[in-house]
Every structure is written in structure tokens, then in C-alpha cells.
Amino acid sequence: MARITLDRVSRVYAGGALGVQDISLDVADGEFLVLLGPSGCGKSTTLRLIAGLEEVTSGRISIGDRDVTDLRPRDRNLAVVFQSYALYPTMTVRANIGFGLRMRGMPASEIAARVDQAAALLGLTPYLDRKPAVLSGGQRQRVALGRAIVREPEAFLLDEPLSNLDAQLRAEMRAELVRLHRSLGRTIVHVTHDQVEAMTMGDRICILRAGRIEQVGAPLEVYASPANMFVARFLASPPMNFLPARLEAGAAPALVLAPGVAWPVPPAHAEAWGRAAGRPVMLGLRPEDFHLEPAPGRIACALAVTAVEALGPETIVTGDLVAVPGLASLKARLGRGQVPRPGESLTLHADLTAAHLFDPATEAVIPRPSVPQPVRSA
Ligand SMILES: Nc1ncnc2c1ncn2[C@@H]1O[C@H](COP(=O)(O)OP(=O)(O)O)[C@@H](O)[C@H]1O
Ligand SMILES: [Mg+2]
């Protein structure tokens, strides 16, 4: 069993720099967990603490039933793969993958069997007798993974293993790692600052900020119900738009964005949002919550378009809400073929049923019942 548990783990570096603070996290046996966050938030520190490459300042770490807090890295039976991996340039792929096993004195026949099996899994069989220099970046990264796989560790700890690869290779390796996880069935903790990796690879995402956990959950769960503005901003690109407003109570509660600009609160959210009545709030609308088409419950608003990014499958439009002067620019995501021009005034329809409200002081969400995500039509 390779369930990994961190119980109130902190790491303070010499000189007082905070690595992570009070992290409690339970990674299930066989789970693919993604640690996500901006640079410096403590992702590598968390991974290195699990691996034993860093000592905890306080807290306990266990793997399966064993408390490993005081065990050396080699006694934890985990494999770590870093962004920059060093292959031995004079050795073949076969020798590189089997190197660690040879050092441990494993019999040659056993090494050969494990190397062949890992190579087959990684599509490296045709390259076993080549040297790293003639391999592509993706193939070299696979050799580094192969070295980890042959050790048959209880869990894999991957620290931004794809960030040195170009965009297309990264996409291929994302799919490959997911496939590998399925065939190996081992626990993986994967560190990244890339939201696409987080959304597409993990069973769950753990979002870190400044050494602390902000939210843990399944990717679509976190996307649909961000716990706070940081998570809402960080998890998608372009990020959620935030519009300062005041929630006015009454028979027909409304979000007042400016004098005379009152957007009716959807009846389904009225009760949950009611506790913020009379207070300033931050209205969060994702770019995909603005539509060209009107529909019941959508609020029409004019956008003065300032920039248009036509990506093909979608168009990202930047602009200013005409009725609310002084508001930061908004971004809306339109469908294929919907390409307005800069300078144009565009009528958008905001879907408030998908909106989130946040407390501007704490940045925490003001909870509401979850709304089923609309299924995108073709
Ligand atoms: N060896 C170290 N000595 C001092 N401070 C460190 C050390 N390693 C990391 N830190 C600090 O700990 C924080 C978290 O770093 P890190 O875990 O590397 O973040 P991430 O991997 O998310 O970019 C940062 O503020 C970083 O400067
Ligand atoms: Mg790092």
C-alpha cells in the first residue's frame, strides 16, 4: 500500500525562509495527485519532504502503514523524477535505465527483464542500444522515467517533468503519463505550475499558495467550486473576471455594479447569497460565462471591445463594460467563427447562474448550491 499522508507538515529553511506551513494531505493508494501553484509556493519542498530529501521542521509523514518521517530517502522506496534529469551520455539507453539496478547488485537477467518491460511500456524498445545524444527531448524524458519504473517503487514523485519539453511533446507526454499511471497502478504525486496538466492528468489537484494548501479536489470540482479568488484566478486561462458589486436585498435581490446597473440575482442563489446582503461583494464570472446569445436568466451587457484573439476553435475578447466605467477589462470566450472587431460595441449575455460571489476582504467564496456545468454543444 502506498497511501501517502502528510500530517501538519512544516518546513522552515535555514535563515527563516518558509518552504511549507502546516500541510495536511492524504494521497490515496494508486491516486494521481497534482500539486499546482505558482513558482515559490512550496511544490518542490512538499515533494522533497515526501522523498526524504528535505527534513520536516514539524509534522509527520507516513507511507502506507509506516511512519517514514525519520527514514532516509533510500529506505522510503519512492522514485523521484526531476525536470532536469541527467542521463549518462556514454551509456546506451539500456544501460541508463538499468544503471540503478546494477549499482544495487541485482542479477543481470533480472535487470534485463525489468529494462525490457519498462522500455516496452514507454515505447523505447527500438532505442535501447542508442545513446542519449541521438534521442529527442521526449525520448530522453522517457528514459528518465524508465530509470524510475525499473526500481518498482511504491510511488512516483514527479517534479515538473514536462516543463522542458515543447508544447506538442508536452501534450503527448501528458497523455503518456496518464496511460502509464493506469498500467502501473502506482501512486503518483506530480508537481506542475501548468493548469492544463493539472486539469487533465490528476484524479485530484492540490493547489498551494505561499506554502499553504488553498484547496484540494477533483479538477472539475475545483473549477466549478473554487474556494476563493486565488483558486478561481489560478485554475483557468484566461482567469475568472472579478466585478466589484454590492448585494442589495429585498423582494428582488440584485447585484448593483454601478448606479442604475442592477443585475437580478438568480432565484436559485438568492437564499445562499442572502447572507451577504447589504455588503460589498466580488462577482466572479468566467470568460465562458459570457455568451452572444440571450437566454432566460442571462443579463445583457454592452462590451466595448479593445482586443480580439481569434484562436480558431474559440475567440477571446477583451473589453470594457460600457455601463460600468472604471472597471478593469473583462475577458469573454466566444465560440468558433464568433470574431468581433476591436472598437466594436458587443452585446454579451452574462450567465449569473454560473457566477460566484466572493468576500472582497477575505477573498473566500460565499457558498451557493453547485450548478451543473452546461454541456457544450458542438
Ligand atoms: N534550500 C532552500 N533554502 C532556502 N529557501 C528555500 C530553499 N528551497 C526553497 N526555498 C524557499 O521555499 C519556498 C518554496 O520553494 P519551492 O518548494 O522550491 O517552490 P516551488 O517548487 O513551488 O517553486 C520559496 O520561497 C523558496 O525560496
Ligand atoms: Mg519547484
pLDDT at 84 over 80: no
Closest protein CA for atom 7 of ligand 1: 13
* DSSP helix/strand/coil, 241: strand
- Domain(s) labelled CATH 3.40.50.300 in the chain stretch across 4-230
- Ligand 1 pocket test target in 9, 36, 39, 41 with most atoms within 8 Å of CB: 41
Specify the higher pLDDT residue, 342 or 176.
Answer: 342
CA of 64 to the centre of ligand 1 (A): 27
* Alpha-carbon Rg for the chain in angstroms: 25
| Per-residue pLDDT at 86 | 83
* pTM, to two decimals: 0.91
Span 255-278, mean pLDDT? 92
Average pLDDT over residues 257-272: 93
Cα(163) to ligand 1 centroid in Å equals 18
User: Which helix (H) or strand (E) element contains residue 233?
Assistant: helix 229-234
For residue 156, pLDDT over 60 is answered with yes
The mean pLDDT of 79-96, rounded to a whole number, is 90
Counting ligands in written order, which one lies closest to the CA of residue 19? 1
Q: Residue 35 corresponds to which amino acid?
A: L
- Ligand 1: distance of its center to the CA of 19 in Å? 5
Residue 264 grid cell: 437580478
Average pLDDT over residues 352-363: 96
Q: 9, 36, 44: which to mutate for ligand 1, most atoms within 8 A of CB?
A: 44
Torsion 321-324-330-333 (CA) sign: negative
Q: Is 42 in the pocket of ligand 1 (CB under 6 A)?
A: yes
Nearest-CA residue for ligand 1 atom 25 is 40
**Ligand with the closest atom to the CA of 161:** 2
Averaged over 76-101, what is the pLDDT? 92
Confidence band, pLDDT 50/70/90 cuts, at residue 51: very high
- pLDDT tens digit sequence for 189-217: 999 999 999 999 999 999 999 999 999 99
Mean pLDDT of all residues in 40-53: 97
Confirm or reject: Cβ of 163 under 6 Å from ligand 1. no
Q: Which helix (H) or strand (E) holds 148?
A: helix 137-149
Ligand 1 centroid to Cα of residue 52, in Å, is 15
Question: How would residue 250 be classed by pLDDT, with cut points 50, 70 and 90?
Answer: confident
Beta strands in 162-230 (DSSP E): 187-192, 204-209, 212-217
The pLDDT value recorded for residue 240 is 97
- For the segment 308-345, what is each residue's pLDDT rounded down to a tens digit? 999 999 999 999 999 998 899 999 999 999 999 999 99
Distance from Cα 14 to the centre of ligand 1, integer Å: 11
Q: Is the CB of 192 under 6 A from ligand 1?
A: no
Cell of 62: 507516513
Residue bearing the CA closest to ligand 1, atom 27: 40
The answer to whether 189 and 31 have CB atoms below 8 angstroms apart is no
pLDDT grade for 378, boundaries at 50, 70 and 90: very low
Q: Look at residue 371 in the predicted model and tell me its pLDDT.
A: 62
Query: Using CA positions, which residue lies closest to atom 1 of ligand 1?
Result: 13
- β-bridge partners, 34: 190, 205
Kindly report the CATH number that applies to the domain delimited by 4-230.
Answer: 3.40.50.300
Instruction: Return the pLDDT at 82.
Output: 86
Ligand 2 geometric centre to CA of 350 (Å) = 38
Phi/psi at 8 (5° precision)? 50, 55
pLDDT of residue 165: 80
CB of 10 shorter than 6 A to ligand 1: no
Task: Give the number of whichever ligand sits closest to the CA of residue 207.
Answer: 1
Domain with CATH 2.40.50.140 in the chain: 234-366
User: Can you tell me which residue has the cell 527500438?
Assistant: 126
- Predicted confidence band at 305 (pLDDT cuts at 50, 70, 90)? very high
Which pLDDT does position 373 carry in this prediction? 53
Lowest pLDDT segment from 207-211, 271-275, 301-305: 271-275
Q: Which of 90-99, 129-138, 303-312, 365-374 has the lowest mean pLDDT?
A: 365-374
Architecture of 234-366 per CATH?
Beta Barrel (2.40)
- To the nearest whole number, what is the mean pLDDT of the chain? 93
